[in-house]
Structure 1
Amino acid sequence: MKKITKIIPNIFTLLNLFFGCISIIFLQSKLFEYSAIFTTFSLIFDFLDGFISRSMKIENKFGKELDSLADMVSFGLVPSIIVFLLFQNMNGNQKIIPFIEWSSFLITIFSAWRLAKFNITYYMDKKNYGLTTPVNTIFFTSLSIIMKKYIPSNNINIIIKKMIFSPIIMFFIIFFSCYFLITKIPMISFNFYGISWKKNKKRYLFLLMSLLLLLTLHMIAIPCIIILYMITSIYFHRFNRKKLH
């Protein structure tokens, strides 16, 4: 029975990998919405494998390595393919910068770097450094759906779309994404310490702002919330450093 219990998290990890592969298949046909659905399944099973491991107090080196390999496909390769396809949609056959779309695979490279680093350092330091690969994937997945579905095709929005989804802007988004994947800046943890406002002030404020964004911007709120998360984390990191000095 113990042996069966130990493999349950690994089954969820493999399901994460399986749905990541299906997501890639849909991306080949530029079906971003269907890809997003299966990426969501990957995210769910990625959460469940860790949750069950912690709940059952299962420590498995094999499972940890398997999890990283699954994440490389679902949250390392998938966002790179999304960005590669977004680059192709931006200019059609006209390329402002030759081969700029290949820069999208920097996300895969830096995701691999982060996952390898995480495997080495996680048990030594449990702080939540940088942007996780699943959150990074949510960011780029939401961008793909926004570009395709959630910006109405009127003159003003077409101009905004061209500005935001331009090759140069996307290149800088890739650069910052890669930086935050491997940065040592501690991100806000959502482990609540009771229900006290004083002890959880920054968490409550962030959740409140996120809720307001979701109610007003809907799907467009998702990348905004992730950017807000990074900015808020940097602010509190600098604020805490000033207090120490």
Structure 2
Amino acid sequence: MNIKKHIPNLITLVNLFCGCVAIVFVSEQNYEMAFYMVCLGIFFDFFDGFFARFFKVSSPLGLQLDSLADMVTSGVVPGYVMFSMFTNSAHELGTNPLIPFLGFLITLGSCYRLANFNIDTRQTDSFIGLPTPANALFIISLQVVLDMYGDASLLILEILTNQWILLVITVFSAYILNAEIPLFSLKIKKFNLKNNALQILFLLGSVILVLLLHYIAIPLIIIFYVLLSVVNNKFLKK
């Protein structure tokens, strides 16, 4: 029995488990723990592919398992978080009980992206559209920021409890997941400054933001990642 070929799939299933636990925490409105569980799931999501390549045991089964696990951790969880944000916010869009379910547009957008990713041969060294893990961190961090700083900052409270703003974020999230926008990958294949300058700039900027702003840095880092990719695309075209 070749144990090595099962290691990546087991790691993928741990990612799925983290997503399931995160859903429980969201249902209990413990968004900080849900955020940590999603971060842990994303960590395992990175290493399942790493070990599959390291052991040379990549398989179609592993590819499908990876997408199914991501669908829960990076698709269902952020959709559920946005549903909760709509539920707990002021009712600018009206009191229709169906309005909070608009949050699951994020889940639908994530599902479409994951299915498309499996058949898109262009996304081997970079991404087309925002990866679902990055989008999940962005959405979940908004609720964490609201919990942590909403009482101290009227601006944060007004922005993240406004249903119109939440709707714009939701629609944009579903769009950016599937937009035809090339985004650079953080994978480092050659250990030299020239080939990794963009990744190093992003990582340094991210560390500085985290040190200065803590949880508020998370959504800003995702925005920084998209903007840096767009600027990089402009330079590549020139």
TM-score by length of 2: 0.90
- Residue deviations 1:143-191, cap 9 Å, x none? 1111112x1624xx12432124411111111122111111221112223
> 1:43 matched to which residue of 2?
42
Matched-pair contact (CA < 8 Å) for 2:127–2:185: yes
The alignment covers a number of residue pairs equal to: 235
183, 192, 196: which is aligned to 1:195?
192
Cα distance in structure 1, aligned partners of 2:157 and 2:73: 27
Cα distance in structure 1, aligned partners of 2:139 and 2:83: 11
RMSD: 1.9
What one-letter code is carried by the residue in structure 2 that aligns with 1:168? W
> 1:96 matched to which residue of 2?
93
Map 1:158-197 → 2, pairs under 5 A = 158-192=154-188, 193-196=190-193
> 1:72 matched to which residue of 2?
71
Deviation for aligned residue 1:47? 1.5
Q: Which moved more, 1:77-86 or 1:100-109?
A: 100-109
Q: Which moved more, 1:64-73 or 1:75-84?
A: 64-73
* Structure 1 unmatched runs, 5+: none
Map 1:12-161 → 2, pairs under 5 A = 12-91=11-90, 94=91, 96-97=93-94, 98=96, 99-122=98-121, 125-149=124-148, 151=149, 153-154=151-152, 157-161=153-157
Cα distance in structure 2, aligned partners of 1:126 and 1:212: 26
Matched-pair contact (CA < 8 Å) for 1:206–1:229: yes
Question: Matched residues, percent identical?
Answer: 39
Identify if the C-alpha distance between structure 1 residues 96 and 69 changes in structure 2 by more than 3 Å, giving closer, same or farther: same
Cα distance in structure 1, aligned partners of 2:44 and 2:200: 27
TM-score by length of 1: 0.88
Cα distance in structure 1, aligned partners of 2:144 and 2:18: 18
Cα distance in structure 2, aligned partners of 1:6 and 1:184: 34
Cα distance in structure 1, aligned partners of 2:108 and 2:171: 12
Higher gyration radius (CA): 1
- SS of the equivalent of 1:187 reads strand
> 1:229 matched to which residue of 2?
225
Deviation for aligned residue 1:95? 5.3
Identify if the C-alpha distance between structure 1 residues 101 and 126 changes in structure 2 by more than 3 Å, giving closer, same or farther: same
* Structure 2 unmatched runs, 5+: none
What one-letter code is carried by the residue in structure 2 that aligns with 1:179? Y
Moved over 6 A (4+): none
Cα distance in structure 1, aligned partners of 2:199 and 2:134: 17
